[in-house]
Amino acid sequence: MEKERVVITGLGVVSSIGIGKEAFLSGLLEGKSGISKITSFDTSNYSVQIGGEIKDFNPENYIDRKEIARLDRVQHFAYASAKEAIEDSHIELDKIDPQRSGVYVTSGIGGMISLERQILINKEKGPSRVSPFLVTQMIIDAIPAYIALKYGFRGETFSAVAACASAAKTIGQALLTIESGNLDIIVAGGAEAPFTPIAVAAFASMRALSRRNDDPAHASRPFDNKRDGFVMGEGAAMLVLESLTHAKRRGAHIYAELVGYGTTCDAYHITAPDPTAKEVIRSMDLALKKAGVNKEEVSYINAHGTSTPLNDKNETYAIKQFFGDFAYRIPVTSTKSQVGHLLGAAAAIEAVATVLSIEKDVIFPTINYEEPDPECDLDYVPNKPREANVQVALKNSFGFGGHNVTLVFKKFEG
C-alpha cells in the first residue's frame, strides 16, 4: 500500500507577538519581541522577572464563559489556536468523517496554574475545598480531549510528552498516522502556560533562564555571544495536517507538505546535551532520509536555538558536522528570539513559522543577534527578514532527557 502524502491546510497561533496567523506573521516580519516583565504574579523577589507573557488574550473570544473557569489557561490557549487553525483550513465539519479525524496536542508541564492554585487552597482551606475540576485542568491529555469534544473528532487523541521536543514528536506521530491511512485529518500542535511562581522559580533555580531583567526585549538572543539563558514563553500553535487525497478532494489550500520525521535520544544526561551531538546528527539524518531529501536541497533550518550557552553551541556544531561546508550556505534562525521558549509547545509555534517561511518565501530573523560567538558561526539571518526561495525547511527540537526530534517540511508540488 502506497503511503499517503501529508499536507498542512490550516494554521492557528496564540503568541506574545500576535494572536492569530496574520498577527503572528506581522510580528515575525517586524522582528518584534514578545518578551516583557511578568505581570501575572509578583516577581519582585525573583532572580528572573521576564518572559514571553501574552497580555491581550481574552478566552471569552473563543470559549463559553461558563466553561472558562473549568479549564486551565493552557487549555484556553490550545482551544483558541485549534479553532483558528480549523477555521483557517475551511473544513466543513458536516462533510468530514469524525471517526477519521483526530487531535494530537501536547504540553510540557500542562495545567500548572491550576495545580499551584489548588495546592494553596488545600493548604489554606483544607482538602474539601479543592476543585473537582483540578484533574482535568492539570493533565496534559485533557488538552486534546477538550478540542476533540468540542469538534466531535472521534478518531484519536494523543499527546507525546518529551520535554521541549514534545510538540515536534506529537506532530511527527501525526505524520505517521496519516501516512498509514488510519486518519484523514489531525489537528496537531502544542500549548503552554508556565507563568506560575513555582515554575518560574524552578527554572530560575536551575540557572537555565536569562536574568536580563532590565532589558526584556533583548533577553532572548540565540547564538549571540552575550546570551545568558532562555526566556520562558506562553501560548499555543496548531497545524491542520491532512492526507493529500482528502485535501485535494475538498479543494483545500495547501501551505506546505510534511515529509520527514526523525527522533533519537542522547542517553547522556538529564539536562545537558551530549557534546558529540551524534544523536542530534542522526535525528537530522533520519528525517531527511525519510523525506527522500538530500542535504544540499535544504533551504532553511528553523533551529531549536534556545539562547543558552550550551544548546546553541551544540546545535551549531551538529549542523556543521552533518552538513559539512554546505552548513555555511543554509540560513539558520531561532523563532525563540521573538517569542521566547514555549517549552513543550515550542516546536508547534516554530513549525507554524517554518511553514509560513515556505508559504511566503521569506526567512524570519534571529533578533538580538549583535555580537558573534566564534563557536556559533553560521548564517543566523540577524535582525531583519530575508526574501528567499524556501523549498525544503528542517525544524530541530531538543528536550531535557536527551530527546531529539527533526521535522522536514517541503513546498507543495501537486
Q: Exposed, middle or buried, 70 (CB in 10 Å: 0-12/13-18/19+)?
A: middle
Q: Which domains are assigned to the chain?
A: 6-249 (3.40.47.10), 260-410 (3.40.47.10)
What are the strands, taking DSSP E only, across 62-184? 101-106, 156-158
265 is known as an active-site residue: no
Residue 204 — very low, low, confident or very high, per pLDDT cuts 50/70/90?
very high
The three cell numbers of residue 144 are 486534546
Is residue 2 pLDDT above 90, yes or no?
A: no
pLDDT score for 387 = 98
- Active-site annotation holder among 90, 218, 246, 304: 304
Question: Which H or E run contains 133?
Answer: none
* % of the chain with per-residue pLDDT over 90: 99
State the average pLDDT over residues 209-218: 98
Pairing of strands 101-106, 185-192: parallel
Say how far apart CA 280 and CA 208 lie, in whole Å. Answer: 21
State the average pLDDT over residues 348-364: 98
How many residues does the structure list for the chain? 414
State the average pLDDT over residues 372-398: 98
18: left (phi over 0), alpha (psi -120 to 50) or beta: left
pLDDT in tens, 37-93: 999 999 999 999 999 999 999 999 999 999 999 999 999 999 999 999 999 999 999
In sequence order, the 6+-apart residues with CB closer than 8 A to the CB of 148 are 102, 103, 154, 157
Residue 414 — very low, low, confident or very high, per pLDDT cuts 50/70/90?
confident
Predicted TM-score (pTM) of this structure = 0.97
Place of cell 542530534: 280
Task: Name which of 393, 363, 403, 397 is nearest 380 in CA terms.
Answer: 363
pLDDT in tens, 125-172: 999 999 999 999 999 999 999 999 999 999 999 999 999 999 999 999
pLDDT score for 7 = 98
Say how far apart CA 367 and CA 143 lie, in whole Å. Answer: 32
pLDDT score for 209 = 97
- Active-site annotation holder among 76, 246, 341, 403: 341
- Report phi then psi at 88, rounded to 5: -65, -30
Say how far apart CA 201 and CA 373 lie, in whole Å. Answer: 29
Report the mean per-residue pLDDT for the chain: 97
The three cell numbers of residue 179 are 501516512
pLDDT score for 405 = 98
376 is known as an active-site residue: no
269 is known as an active-site residue: no
State the average pLDDT over residues 392-404: 97
- Active-site annotation holder among 76, 164, 246, 403: 164
Is residue 1 pLDDT above 80, yes or no?
A: no
Say how far apart CA 46 and CA 380 lie, in whole Å. Answer: 32
Place of cell 531549536: 304
Residue 363 — very low, low, confident or very high, per pLDDT cuts 50/70/90?
very high
